Structure formats: structure tokens, C-alpha cells
């Protein structure tokens, strides 16, 4: 055999051997890719399972949270104070809402009339008003009883007078509030301060104004020393916020509102 033939045979053997190794390498690579694909599928399935469990847990938590809110609403009447709770020096959050989808105050004259009769009734049943806000369909008062006369009677007197005025003015009959007067004892200073903010920020949360000072049917202007009235206990403000600017900063700060879970529909 000639040298050229031997060289050709040698080249063919090398080529076959090299191709065989390539085939083996490609085969191993395919096996690795398949194994990686299976592992990825397992990871994806694991992630899907974790995501599903997380969503299930979040759904359960949300449902529990909503049930809690609903329970608080159902307990609203039960949370009302009893007659023996109304003693001198005790502080209450008192509020109520218009019946159905009606309004309590349609214009400036309505607001002014309610506030005027409320001020007059203070002569019969002394009380200190820390914070208040009249909204179109409800109101809030943070108030302290200053005598042995139950403070809820102050609101009852004002309610009777205003209901008579309201029904005559708008040619209607019947109740103007959807429930009996709502009242909660306030025993915590932190809760009390948060209530002041909650009450004064009501018009902002309802998109009636951009800033609380733009809503004149509250005593926020008294808090920041831009107005004076009988419906404000200045000593209370002086004790907790001697500098009105500090109260402005507090009211405009982002903080959790304690009363929200109790009166989220007011």
C-alpha cells in the first residue's frame, strides 16, 4: 500500500473518531438540557405552588380583616354608652348620620342654625368641645361633660330643635338621623389626639376641600388660632399643642387613624 493511501486511511479514522466524540458530546449535552428542563419545570411548579399558597393566605387574611370590620359595624349599637357612663369629667366621641341617603345640611344657613342652637344649649348642659366637624350628611364631636347632667341630653335638645327647623324648611316629616345618638367613651390620650385629627380631616378625606382650614364648619380654625368661638376648649389645645404649627404638621402627617375601623362608613 502506498503512503498516500495510508495517510487517507489515517485521516478517515481520525474523522470517524472525532465525529463519534462529537455525537457523544452532543448526546450528553441533550441529556443535560433535558435534565435542566425537568429541574426548571420542578422549580416553576414549586413557585406556582408557593404563589397559590400565598394568594390563598392573603385571601384568608383579607376575608378575616373584612369580617372584623363588619363585626365592628354590627356592634356599633352595642358600643353605645349607658346612662351611668355619663359622669362629670368624662370625654366622649359623639356622632350620628343622616337617615338613608339624605343630607343634614344643605347650605350655610343650615350649618349656622345647628351650631347656634348647640351653643345655646350649652348654657343648660355645660360641656367643653375639643373638636367637632359638621359634614353634609353626618357630624362628629369630641366633647367633655362638665356637670352631672348627662351630655347626651345636650345633643337630644339640639336634635329636636334642628329636626323641627329642617322638616319645616324642606317640607318633610319624620326622623332625620338613621340611628340613635352614637357615643363612645374616650379613655386614652393617644386615642383622643388621633380623634381630633380624624374629625378635622373628615372634609379632606371626603374630597370636599383640599385643606382642613378650608372647611369652616369645624373648629380646626380655632385650633390653629385663626378664629375664636365658644365651641372650643383652648386649654386642651394649649396642653397638647402649645404651638399651632405643630398641630398643623400633625394633622397633615401620614399616620394611622385609630377610629377608622370603628366608623369607616361615616
Residue 37: in which H helix or E strand, if any? helix 3-74
Which one is predicted more confidently, 16 or 197? 197
Contacts of 73 (CB under 8 A, 6+ apart): 264, 265
The percentage of the chain sitting over the pLDDT mark of 70, rounded to a whole number, equals 66
| CA gap 97, 178 in Å, rounded | 6
Higher pLDDT, 11 or 117: 117
Q: Do residues 208 and 218 make contact, with C-beta atoms less than 8 angstroms apart?
A: no
Considering the entire predicted model, what is its pTM?
Answer: 0.66
pLDDT in tens, 103-121: 999 999 999 999 999 998 8
Which helix H or strand E contains 185, and what residues bound it? strand 182-185
Q: Average pLDDT, stretch 215-241?
A: 91
pLDDT in tens, 83-101: 778 889 999 999 999 988 8
What angle, 0 to 180 degrees and rounded to 10, lies between the N-to-C axes of helices 244-251 and 189-205?
A: 70
- Mean of pLDDT over the chain: 78
Comparing 157 with 58, which gets the higher pLDDT? Answer: 157
Contact 202, 179 (CB under 8 A): no
Contacts of residue 18, defined as CB under 8 A and 6 or more positions apart, other chains included, come to: none
Q: What per-residue confidence (pLDDT) applies to 161?
A: 92
Residue 131's SS3 state is strand
Query: How many Cα neighbours within 13 Å face the side chain of 251?
Result: 26
Amino acid at each position: 500500500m502506498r503512503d498516500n493511501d495510508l495517510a487517507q486511511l489515517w485521516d478517515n479514522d481520525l474523522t470517524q473518531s472525532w465525529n463519534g466524540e462529537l455525537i457523544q458530546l452532543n448526546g450528553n449535552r441533550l441529556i443535560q438540557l433535558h435534565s435542566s428542563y425537568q429541574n426548571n419545570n420542578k422549580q416553576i411548579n414549586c413557585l406556582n405552588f408557593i404563589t397559590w399558597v400565598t394568594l390563598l393566605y392573603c385571601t384568608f387574611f383579607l376575608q378575616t380583616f373584612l369580617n372584623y370590620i363588619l363585626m365592628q359595624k354590627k356592634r356599633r349599637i352595642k358600643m353605645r354608652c349607658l346612662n351611668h357612663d355619663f359622669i362629670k369629667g368624662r370625654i366622649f366621641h359623639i356622632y350620628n348620620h343622616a337617615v338613608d341617603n339624605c343630607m343634614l345640611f344643605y347650605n350655610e344657613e343650615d350649618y349656622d342654625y345647628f351650631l347656634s342652637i348647640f351653643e345655646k344649649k350649652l348654657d343648660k348642659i355645660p360641656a367643653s368641645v375639643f373638636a367637632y366637624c359638621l359634614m353634609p350628611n353626618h357630624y362628629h364631636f369630641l366633647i367633655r361633660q362638665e356637670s352631672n347632667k348627662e351630655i347626651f341630653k345636650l345633643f337630644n335638645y339640639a336634635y329636636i330643635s334642628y329636626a323641627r327647623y329642617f322638616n319645616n324648611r324642606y317640607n318633610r316629616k319624620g326622623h332625620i338621623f338613621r340611628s340613635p345618638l352614637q357615643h363612645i367613651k374616650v379613655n386614652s390620650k393617644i386615642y383622643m389626639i388621633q380623634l381630633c385629627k380624624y374629625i378635622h380631616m373628615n372634609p379632606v378625606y371626603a374630597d370636599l376641600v383640599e385643606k382642613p382650614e378650608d372647611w369652616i364648619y369645624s373648629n380646626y380654625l380655632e385650633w390653629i388660632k385663626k378664629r375664636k368661638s365658644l365651641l372650643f376648649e383652648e386649654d386642651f389645645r394649649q396642653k397638647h399643642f402649645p404651638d399651632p404649627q405643630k398641630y398643623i404638621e400633625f394633622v397633615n402627617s401620614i399616620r394611622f387613624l385609630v377610629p377608622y375601623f370603628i366608623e369607616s362608613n361615616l
